[in-house]
Chains A and B, each alone.
Chain A
Amino acid sequence: MINSRTWLLIAILLLLAAVPPLAAFFAQPFYLDLFRRVMIFAVAATSLNLILGYGGMVSFGHAAYLGVGAYAVGVLAHHGIDNGWLQWGLAIGASALVALAIGAVSVRTSGIYFIMITLAFTQMLYYLGISIEEYGGDDGMRLATRSQFPGVADIADPVAFYYLVLGILVFSIYLVHRLVNSRFGMVIQAARSNEARTRAIGFSPYLYRLAAFVIAGAMCGLAGALLVNHTAYLTPEFMNWTRSGELMFMVILGGIATAAGPVLGAAALLLLEDLLQGWSVLPKWVHDHWQLYLGVILVLVVLFARRGLAGFFAGKNE
């Protein structure tokens, strides 16, 4: 039972897999970098989609876990611990713990309160990052060394790192797919669809939602570990509220509660950004005010593709 959306996803992933040889052939290593960034954000957006798209929890603070994951790697590296398993394990574990703490409070609320509480917690972490001079304060700091996976992979090699990120993206999408179709996933989707009914048939949604929130946080923490290795630079800007907004936008633009949506959304947003800023065909007044034009394009997409970019490719009942 492969529907048009699954074909779309397969096509996108194959295209992504083809980027390194193409970039090498055309001697354009920049695109390797750009698409690796796209995929890292796609992992983060996929994790957000689990709670926002399927769980109906509109988290406006998902960048917190990008930050926690990045700091886990950066701080360990700063103190001379460069073992990737340890760093990434800590990134995932610390993000899960932070998500547990934030979720324990915020998941009890809904609607605008949920949005504001998740935003507030993330701002706290953002200012915490700014205030710690030891780790660069608001300037941030260079990542001392990239995460080391001796004998497994050398992520200082751009192509190896690229394919590792692609593998993690595929795994993330598969993981979310399994989760949302399991009994667990049915409960969080049911609670999104009709909470009163869900309680009336005997589910107490809180713990299920909290578990989804923690899983999403842990996944995004891994994306944070990837991101800091990608930029080789640690900065509290990873946790800026605008980044949370971008993640939300990627999910909504791509198509909420779809597997391909977050990938499409991440690609569309980051490629548009790059295009408007750097494409030499465009006149200077576009380059100078690229955010404005990006905004116009985004508004149009949201207005005319209510179900996101993935909605364009889906049949009626998919």
Chain B
Amino acid sequence: MNNALLEVSGLSKSFGALRATDGVDLEVREGETHAVIGPNGAGKTTLIGQLAGNIRPDAGRIRFGGEDITRLPGPVRSRKGLARSFQITSIYADFTALDNVALAVQAHAGHSFRFWRPAREDVSLIAPAMKVLEQVGLEKRSNILAANLAHGEQRQLEIAMVLATGPRLLLLDEPVAGMGTEESQRMVEFLATLKGRQTIVLVEHDMDAVFSLADRISVLVYGRIIATGAPAQIRLNPEVRRAYLGEDL
């Protein structure tokens, strides 16, 4: 049975002499939360960049829902249902929280060559946007400028934007990075509510978050996947333990 939503094969990318991605094979199944972990500099962000279409791979193939998307630009991948969050929060700081999410809705509501009707009065954008804001718990902050939200709220807002695109696959690049314990706990709890309903690729440094959320884990070291398996297997894998020497898995 082939229920892989995302299939990556032989993906490679070099920056000069550095092989940031070195023949990566990866399969993400429909509905699973698949974590990609690895020490600093393992090439996690380069990998997610290639999946999202921000970085063009040197070799290899990416298939999404059975379709080869290796050469498709980022915006097209997004419209096909591949949505990403960034390691460093990427939102519209000078727009309100509601505007941020409404834009994400708009991006997936046909073309935007509509020049006359005010977008902020368009219920078909505002209503779904409010719903997603409620889902992440920001409904009371909808009219606040995104720049004035707390750091944790900004991360939630970015997740809200990602969800508002109605994605088939979420690519989350370190969603709890830079968060305090309490905030990151809330984020992990929230991501847990998506589990099963959403297919998620989770690139994360925080091992607590990874082991509480992931169905499967792939371990990336020096641009290669050295192991893929259930959390319990990964915890016991000697190669992984070697790569994470000194860290408590």
What is the interface of chain A, defined by CB distance below 8 A to chain B?
A: 178-179, 181-187, 189-190, 193-194, 196-204, 208, 211, 317
Contacts and interface: CB of A to CB of B under 8 A. Distances in A.
10 contacts: A178-B116, A183-B112, A189-B95, A194-B91, A197-B92, A197-B161, A199-B73, A199-B74, A200-B74, A200-B86
Contacts of A189: 95
B90 A197 contact: yes
Interface in B136-185: 145, 161-162, 164-165
B63 interface: no
Contacts of A317: 145
A201 B83 contact: yes
Contacts of B119: 181-183, 185-186
Given A199-B78, A201-B83, A203-B107, A190 B115 contact: no
Given A181-B120, A182-B118, A194-B91, A201 B113 contact: no
Contacts of B83: 200-201
Contacts of A178: 115-116, 118
B79 interface: yes
Contacts of B106: 183, 186-187
B207 interface: no
Given A186-B119, A202-B165, A196 B75 contact: no
A202 B86 CA distance: 15
Given A194-B91, A199-B75, A202-B75, A182 B116 contact: yes
Nearest to B161: A201
B117 A190 contact: no
A121 to B, nearest CB: 25
B22 interface: no
Nearest to B73: A204
Most buried by A among B73, B91, B119, B161: B119
Contacts of B115: 178-179, 182, 184-185
A45 B105 CA distance: 32
Given A184-B115, A196-B86, A199-B75, 8 more contacts: A181-B118, A183-B119, A186-B103, A198-B103, A201-B103, A201-B108, A202-B108, A203-B107
A208 B75 CA distance: 13
B93 interface: yes
A190 B105 CA distance: 13
A189 B103 CA distance: 10
A203 B102 CA distance: 13
Ranked 10 nearest A-B pairs via Cβ: A202-B78, A202-B107, A204-B75, A183-B112, A183-B114, A197-B90, A201-B104, A201-B107, A193-B92, A202-B79
A194 B107 CA distance: 14
Contact of A193 (B54, B95, B104): B95
A196 B114 contact: no
Could you say which interface size class chain B belongs to? 35 or more
A194 B75 CA distance: 14
Nearest to B84: A200
A81 B122 CA distance: 46
Contacts, number: 97
A190 B119 CA distance: 13
A240 to B, nearest CB: 32
A186 B115 CA distance: 10
B94 interface: yes
Nearest to B99: A186
B159 to A, nearest CB: 12
A35 B122 CA distance: 39
A197 B162 CA distance: 10
B76 interface: yes
A203 to B, nearest CB: 5
Nearest to B95: A193
Nearest to B122: A183
A317 B161 CA distance: 23
A186 B103 CA distance: 7
A182 to B, nearest CB: 5
A187 B113 CA distance: 9
Contacts of A203: 75, 107, 112
Contacts of B76: 204
B44 to A, nearest CB: 17
A6 to B, nearest CB: 15
B220 interface: no
B108 A190 contact: no
Contacts of B120: 181
B52 interface: yes
A197 B78 contact: no
Most buried by A among B90, B106, B115: B115
A204 B112 CA distance: 10
A179 B112 CA distance: 11
A197 B107 contact: no
Contacts of B94: 193
Contacts of A194: 90-93
Given A190-B103, A201-B83, A201-B103, A196 B90 contact: yes
Contacts of A179: 115
